[in-house]
């Protein structure tokens, strides 16, 4: 199994190297050279299996022997054993033909746990085999960071630095990142927005001297392993609704495009996915692009669904790569235009390909709050604001020919202020986190400045600048 860069000019790697490398050295993202296929019979045979067994069968063909079969099964068991629901990703019916896929039963109450828990296991196994260590640097709008810290806290072979936008995430999200006391965890509050944090991370990867000195690794969805682990729940959800004998549509609250791209990979593997619907808040670059064919940056607007307050959507590059017939040069040119001019026109051919797979909708702040209230009233389901964005958009796309699954990406208790403002109900944290507000916080405030962040990282990992 070989992994190639979306910009076509980086070394071709195996699964383990691609996972540990993060961003490709040409600035692109790694993708599999070929997408493994599951036959109809293999998909049908997932019915009634445990989530862990489905995870093994879906992910295994991408690994190219990086781990042994028994070892990989054990890593999967460790990853999902601590989830708070036996089904791991249960489906709840919201109405005729509309289902909610609850992805918030992991340790940090967001869908990120599905990938981060297994990535943590794979990193640990790979690093203990090679005896090496890495420095993980990640950017977060709230959920990736807490899931990464949870997955990597206390590991000897890893330091984990998480950059979050100061003042732009919920208090629960912040505390999940600032209260772990392990010495290998470093929360950095950046004076900027999520796009600034993500740009800093990418700049660190593109600073080869720094990258090599600290053995930089990434756990944002630039890391292929993240996307891969998220493919699994598209299979479990669709199969429980009748796939492969039935087409299933999905609506995905979208920011960095990793989660919905995982749905596209499931489709490419043979799962009968109908429409993949991008649901955005006011930060609607993806919706605008699908509507008018131009990918143009605006400033990031703070919203009540802060984890989706993103304009430069990393994984859209992976989608473009396929839409341009896997022409790395074309993608590299567009990404250069994004940096130099703040945007680019997607070619007629490529936008046509994207529209074959993806549709989209945008939801205002008022509509998000109204949807949280309406869902509670009509279905008894208390939604987080991100999931509410998804449900509101999905309602516009319901059709008789296919059931719709909306991904519920976080637990409402992570965003209690927004949920309470919409419904009057303040969702409580699960008992195991009940003392979150009493724990001591540890955080370093840092300017939106590459040198300043690199200096902190070098210093903490024991390298003299
Ligand atoms: C709760 C929540 N919903 C949705 C998203 C968007 O997911 P993606 O970035 O994979 O598009 C995020 C962040 O990524 C999130 O944390
Ligand atoms: N919403 C995310 C943003 C980062 O996305 P990722 O999937 O690329 O890690 C977050 O919660 O941090």
The pLDDT of residue 464 is above 90: no
Separation of CA 48 and ligand 2 centre (Å): 31
Write out the two tokens for 352.
């046509």
Phi first, then psi: what are they for 381, rounded to 5°?
-90, 125
Q: How much is the average pLDDT of 327-349?
A: 97
> Which residues lie with the beta carbon below 6 Å from any ligand 1 atom?
110, 143, 221, 253-260, 307-308, 386, 409-410
Distances in whole angstroms, Cα of residue 327 to Cα of each of 7, 35, 256, 261, 342 = 8, 16, 21, 18, 21
From residue 240, alpha-carbon distances to 45, 169, 264, 397 in Å are 11, 34, 18, 21
Residue-wise pLDDT tens digits, 136-150: 999 999 999 999 999
Give percent of the chain with pLDDT exceeding 70. 100
- Predicted confidence (pLDDT) at residue 461 exceeds the cutoff of 70: yes
Whole-number pLDDT of residue 160: 98
> 301's torsion region: left (phi>0), alpha (psi -120 to 50) or beta?
beta
Give residue 260 CA to ligand 1 midpoint distance, Å.
Answer: 9
Contact 334, 320 (CB under 8 A): yes
pLDDT tens per residue, range 47-84: 999 999 999 999 999 999 999 999 999 999 999 999 99
Question: How much of the chain, in percent, has pLDDT values that exceed 90?
Answer: 98
pLDDT at 465: 55
Residue 34: count other Cβ atoms within 10 Å of its Cβ: 10
Helix (H) or strand (E) holding 316: helix 316-323
**pLDDT tens per residue across span 278-308:** 999 999 999 999 999 999 999 899 999 999 9
**Whether residue 202 has pLDDT greater than 90:** yes
Indicate the top mutation candidate among 164, 194, 256 to test ligand 1's pocket, ranked by most ligand atoms within 8 A of CB.
256
The catalytic position among 112, 202, 267, 414 is 112
CB of 110 closer than 8 Å to CB of 410: yes
CB 33 within 8 A of CB 226: no
Residue 100 Cα to ligand 1 middle (Å): 16
Q: Which of 195, 222, 253, 408 to mutate to test the pocket of ligand 1 (most atoms within 8 A of CB)?
A: 253
Averaged pLDDT for residues 270-279: 98
* Domains (range + CATH), the chain: 84-108+225-423 (3.40.50.1100)
Query: Known catalytic residue: 202?
Result: no
* Cα four-point dihedral sign 75, 79, 85, 91: negative
Q: What is the pLDDT of residues 161-180, one digit of tens each?
A: 999 999 999 999 999 999 99
Task: Return the residue whose CA atom lies nearest to atom 13 of ligand 1.
Answer: 307
- pLDDT for the residue 463: 82
pLDDT band at 352, cuts 50/70/90?
Answer: very high
Distance 147 CA to ligand 2 centre (A): 10
**Which among 118, 136, 4 has a CA at the least distance from the CA of 67?**
118
Q: Could you read off the pLDDT of 93-138 as tens digits, one per residue?
A: 999 999 999 999 999 999 999 999 999 999 999 999 999 999 999 9
Q: Is the pTM of this model over 0.95?
A: yes
Q: Answer whether 37's CB lies under 8 Å from 264's CB.
A: no
> What ligand 2 atom has the least distance to the C-alpha of 143?
11
């Amino acid at each position: 199994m070989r992994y190639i860069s979306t910009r076509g000019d980086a070394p071709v790697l195996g699964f383990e190297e691609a996972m540990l490398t993060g961003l490709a050295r040409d600035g692109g993202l790694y993708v599999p050279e070929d997408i493994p296929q599951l036959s109809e019979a293999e998909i049908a045979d997932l019915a009634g299996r445990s989530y862990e067994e489905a995870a093994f069968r879906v992910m295994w063909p991408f690994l190219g022997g990086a781990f042994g079969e028994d070892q990989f099964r054990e890593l999967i068991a460790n990853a999902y054993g601590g989830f708070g629901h036996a089904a791991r990703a249960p489906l709840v019916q919201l109405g005729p033909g509309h289902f909610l896929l609850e992805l918030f039963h992991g340790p940090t109450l967001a869908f990120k746990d599905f990938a981060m828990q297994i990535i943590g296991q794979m990193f640990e196994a790979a690093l203990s085999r090679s005896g090496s260590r890495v420095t993980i640097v990640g950017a977060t709008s709230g959920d990736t960071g807490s899931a990464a810290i949870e997955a990597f806290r206390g590991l000897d072979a890893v330091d984990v630095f998480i950059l979050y936008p100061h003042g732009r995430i919920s208090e629960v999200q912040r505390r999940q990142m600032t209260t772990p006391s392990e010495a290998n965890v470093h929360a950095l509050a950046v004076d900027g927005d999520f796009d600034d944090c993500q740009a800093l991370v990418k700049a660190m990867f593109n600073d080869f001297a720094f990258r090599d000195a600290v053995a930089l690794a990434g756990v944002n969805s630039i890391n292929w392993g993240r996307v891969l682990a998220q493919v699994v729940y598209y299979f479990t959800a669709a199969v429980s609704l009748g796939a492969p004998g039935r087409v299933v549509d999905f609506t995905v609250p979208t920011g960095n495009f990793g989660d919905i791209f995982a749905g596209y990979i499931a489709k490419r593997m043979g799962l009968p996915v109908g429409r993949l619907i991008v649901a955005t808040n006011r930060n609607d670059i993806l919706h605008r692009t699908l509507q008018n064919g131009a990918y143009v940056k605006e400033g990031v607007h703070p919203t009540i669904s802060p984890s989706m307050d993103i304009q430069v959507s990393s994984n859209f590059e992976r989608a473009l790569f396929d839409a341009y017939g896997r022409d790395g040069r074309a993608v590299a040119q567009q990404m250069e235009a994004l940096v130099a001019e703040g945007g680019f026109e997607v070619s007629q051919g490529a936008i046509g390909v994207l529209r074959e797979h993806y549709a989209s909708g945008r939801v205002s702040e008022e509509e998000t709050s109204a949807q949280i209230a309406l869902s509670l009233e009509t279905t008894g389901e208390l939604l987080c604001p991100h999931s509410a964005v998804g449900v509101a958009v999905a309602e516009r796309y319901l059709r008789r020919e296919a059931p719709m699954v909306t991904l519920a990406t976080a637990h409402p208790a992570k965003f209690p202020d927004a949920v309470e403002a919409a419904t009057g109900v303040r969702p409580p944290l699960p008992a195991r986190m009940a003392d979150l507000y009493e724990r001591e916080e540890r955080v370093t405030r840092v300017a939106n400045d590459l040198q300043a962040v690199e200096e902190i990282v070098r210093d903490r990992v024991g390298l003299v600048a």
